[in-house]
């Protein structure tokens, strides 16, 4: 088939350089599959045009991918970790070469701004740099034994195949968070990209396969499967895949978590967020507006860390509300490849319907639209995926406020009294991913990040809820899943722990002083 993407902002040339233009894409370990699977198309939410088609992985092809991964693991795990790091370094350098092209594809296929697309590729580069350093620091412990002439140690070994299920909103970065760490740990990876952004997955696979071929390494080190949830179910139920890292909705995560737990496998779950910023009377208003507005409308509200709730002290509520409204009125909505625009489209018309339904539910439950939502029409909005960022005054106990809607809807909530009341509102949802407080009050700042403060995996002071750096472990608590990806010691999730005791004496004393004489 012929890809139909027009040469808007150089996207057609970028597709060609990434090897995702004008062909049907398969889903084997790197080359085009047999094409026997069901074909599904990738349409851009930017202009509604067909970018390309992908064939879903068949059961037979899935077996080929898993067997290739198993075979590659045998030799990959024996390669010294710094040598594995060298491969990841080369992959990171190749990403630098393709940064603009891949950033454009992310923007065009997913709908986020081009600057955010570039930022996502930069996250991939950053995690590769992190992983290269990590490859020389994978460490265990030495432990003093109670027995003479005995040495105890703890070390970490690779698990095998790491299954990765990623979501459409970060179609390349989250895969890299997982796979860069897993590779230096000695694991091999099988990735199921989102069926809503499959060409981003094909492009990344093409880049890594180039690196593997240049180093005479097996393609099974990086495998890919494509399709809907049914393809993902094969992996979550497969005992040959000891760990599955899944990013997506809470509903999806519960299904994956139960399936993996049923076979006593490991899961890394990074699920939904219902993130809030507390605005204290001691907040810097300018910083508050920047953090709140970007958090709410960045990626059209389709980040798991998007700001969904703004909890404002009643003494400054009207002032903050007006400043946020003024900022919203300055936003430009349109083609995300045009860097003059702030907000691009939602991923598809299903997301638009969810957005509209959430607004109606909020109004039914007593919410007041401060800035009305709606679907944009006319020139430049032909895809039907562009919507107006919406602001609604609400209560935290509204059922719709308790839910995560992947769209640019910001709920304004009031609190009175001290920051303890605001923290109770912030924590009063089932999700626990990201949170923030805007304050210049030292006591409030420390209270927010203390044990009795935010119950989220991420708690920020004087920055927004989105925009995490790769150096820190990323993930959340409660129904966000408890998994951690990216930095810190998240690498341990991709490895198995082993305790060793070495006896270098001529005796065999037993622990705890037990006597067993023959």
29 pLDDT higher than 60: no
Q: Over pLDDT 70: what percentage of the chain?
A: 96
What is the average pLDDT value for the chain, to the nearest integer? Answer: 95
480 pLDDT higher than 80: yes
Q: Which one of 270, 404, 444, 479 is the catalytic residue?
A: 270
DSSP states along 27-82: -SSSS---S-SPEEEEE-TTT--EEEEEEPPPHHHHHHHHHHHHHHHHHHTTS-HH
Question: How far from 344 is each of 45, 84, 111, 116, 325, CA to CA, in Å?
Answer: 9, 38, 6, 11, 19
Higher-pLDDT residue of 33 and 432 is 432
Entry pTM: 0.95
494 pLDDT higher than 90: yes
Which phi and psi angles does 150 have, rounded to 5°? -125, 145
Q: Over pLDDT 90: what percentage of the chain?
A: 92
Report residue 24's pLDDT band, with 50, 70 and 90 as the boundaries: low
**Cβ atoms 467, 299 nearer than 8 A:** no
In sequence order, what E strands does 293-356 have?
307-313
28 pLDDT higher than 50: no
Report residue 37's pLDDT band, with 50, 70 and 90 as the boundaries: confident
Supply the pLDDT for residue 36. Answer: 78
What is d(CA 445, CA 283) in angstroms, rounded to the nearest whole number? 11
**Cβ atoms 221, 212 nearer than 8 A:** yes
Report residue 162's pLDDT band, with 50, 70 and 90 as the boundaries: very high
What is d(CA 137, CA 140) in angstroms, rounded to the nearest whole number? 10
Report residue 22's pLDDT band, with 50, 70 and 90 as the boundaries: low
Supply the pLDDT for residue 5. Answer: 42
Per residue in 249-270, pLDDT (tens digit) is 999 999 999 999 999 999 999 9
How large is the average pLDDT for residues 115-139? Answer: 97
Supply the pLDDT for residue 9. Answer: 87
User: Does the annotation count 61 as an active-site position?
Assistant: no
Closest by CA position to 383, among listed 12, 41, 43, 6: 43
Supply the pLDDT for residue 516. Answer: 86
What is d(CA 199, CA 103) in angstroms, rounded to the nearest whole number? 12
Of the candidate ranges 34-48, 93-107, 258-272, the one whose mean pLDDT is the lowest: 34-48
Question: How far from 261 is each of 150, 244, 256, 258, 480, CA to CA, in Å?
Answer: 37, 10, 8, 5, 17
Helix H or strand E encompassing 115: helix 114-134
Which class for 286: exposed (0-12), middle (13-18), buried (19 or more C-beta within 10 A)? exposed
Report residue 27's pLDDT band, with 50, 70 and 90 as the boundaries: very low
32 pLDDT higher than 80: no
How large is the average pLDDT for residues 391-417? Answer: 98
How large is the average pLDDT for residues 408-424? Answer: 98
Return all residues near 236 (Cβ < 8 A) that are at least 6 apart.
163, 165, 244, 246, 255, 256, 259, 260
377 pLDDT higher than 70: yes
Supply the pLDDT for residue 188. Answer: 98
Return all residues near 387 (Cβ < 8 A) that are at least 6 apart.
300, 345, 346, 352, 355, 373, 374, 375, 376, 407, 408
Return all residues near 326 (Cβ < 8 A) that are at least 6 apart.
none
3 pLDDT higher than 90: no
Per residue in 66-89, pLDDT (tens digit) is 999 999 999 999 999 999 999 999
User: Does the annotation count 361 as an active-site position?
Assistant: no
Q: Which one of 185, 204, 304, 456 is the catalytic residue?
A: 304
Supply the pLDDT for residue 35. Answer: 64
DSSP letter for 510, please: P
How large is the average pLDDT for residues 45-64? Answer: 95
Higher-pLDDT residue of 410 and 4 is 410
How many CB atoms are closer than 10 A to CB 146? 10
Per residue in 195-222, pLDDT (tens digit) is 999 999 999 999 999 999 999 999 999 9
41 pLDDT higher than 60: yes
Q: Which residues pair with 223 in a beta bridge?
A: 190
């Amino acid at each position: 088939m012929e890809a139909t993407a027009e040469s808007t902002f150089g996207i057609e040339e970028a597709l060609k350089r990434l090897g995702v233009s004008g062909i049907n894409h398969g889903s084997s370990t790197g080359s085009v599959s047999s094409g026997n699977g069901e074909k599904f198309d990738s349409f851009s939410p930017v202009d509604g045009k067909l970018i390309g088609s992908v064939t879903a992985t068949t059961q037979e092809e899935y077996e080929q991918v898993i067997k290739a991964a198993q075979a590659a693991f045998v030799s990959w795990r024996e390669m010294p970790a710094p040598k594995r790091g060298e491969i990841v370094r080369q992959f990171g350098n190749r990403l630098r070469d393709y940064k603009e092209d891949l950033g454009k594809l992310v923007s065009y296929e997913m709908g986020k701004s081009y600057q955010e697309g570039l930022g996502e590729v930069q996250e991939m580069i950053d995690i590769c740099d992190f992983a290269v350093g990590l490859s020389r620091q994978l460490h265990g412990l030495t432990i003093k034994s109670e027995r003479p002439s005995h040495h105890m140690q703890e070390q970490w070994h690779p698990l095998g195949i790491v299954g990765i299920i990623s979501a459409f909103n970060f179609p390349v970065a989250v895969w890299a968070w997982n796979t860069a760490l897993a590779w230096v740990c000695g694991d091999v990876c099988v990735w199921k990209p989102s069926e809503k952004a499959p060409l981003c997955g094909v492009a990344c696979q093409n880049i890594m396969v180039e690196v593997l071929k240049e180093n005479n390494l097996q393609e099974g080190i990086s495998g890919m499967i494509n399709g809907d949830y049914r393809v993902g179910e094969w992996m979550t139920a497969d005992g040959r895949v000891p760990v599955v890292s899944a990013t997506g909705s809470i509903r999806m995560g519960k299904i994956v978590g139960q399936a993996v737990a049923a076979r006593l496998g490991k899961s890394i779950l990074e699920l939904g967020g219902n993130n809030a910023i507390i605005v204290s009377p001691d907040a810097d208003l300018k910083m508050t507006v920047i953090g709140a507005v970007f958090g709410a409308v960045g990626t059209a509200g389709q980040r798991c860390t998007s700001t969904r709730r703004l909890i404002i002290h009643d003494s400054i509520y009207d002032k903050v509300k007006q400043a946020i409204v003024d900022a919203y009125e300055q936003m430009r909505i349109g083609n995300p490849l045009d860097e003059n625009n702030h907000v691009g489209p939602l991923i598809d018309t299903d997301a638009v319907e969810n957005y509209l339904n959430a607004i109606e539910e909020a109004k039914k439950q007593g919410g007041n639209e401060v800035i009305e939502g709606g679907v944009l029409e006319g020139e430049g909005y032909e895809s039907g995926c562009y919507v107006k960022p919406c602001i609604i005054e609400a209560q935290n106990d509204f059922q719709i406020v308790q839910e995560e809607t992947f769209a640019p809807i910001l709920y304004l909530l009031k609190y009175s009294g001290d920051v303890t009341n605001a923290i109770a509102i912030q924590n009063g949802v089932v999700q626990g991913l990201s949170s923030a407080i805007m304050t210049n009050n030292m006591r409030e700042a420390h209270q927010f990040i203390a044990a009795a403060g935010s119950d989220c995996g991420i708690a920020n002071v004087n920055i927004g809820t989105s925009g995490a750096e790769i150096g820190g472990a990323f993930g959340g608590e409660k129904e966000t899943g408890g998994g951690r990806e990216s930095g810190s010691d998240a690498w341990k999730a991709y490895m198995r722990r082993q305790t060793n005791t070495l006896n270098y004496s001529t005796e065999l004393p037993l622990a705890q002083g037990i006597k067993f004489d023959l």
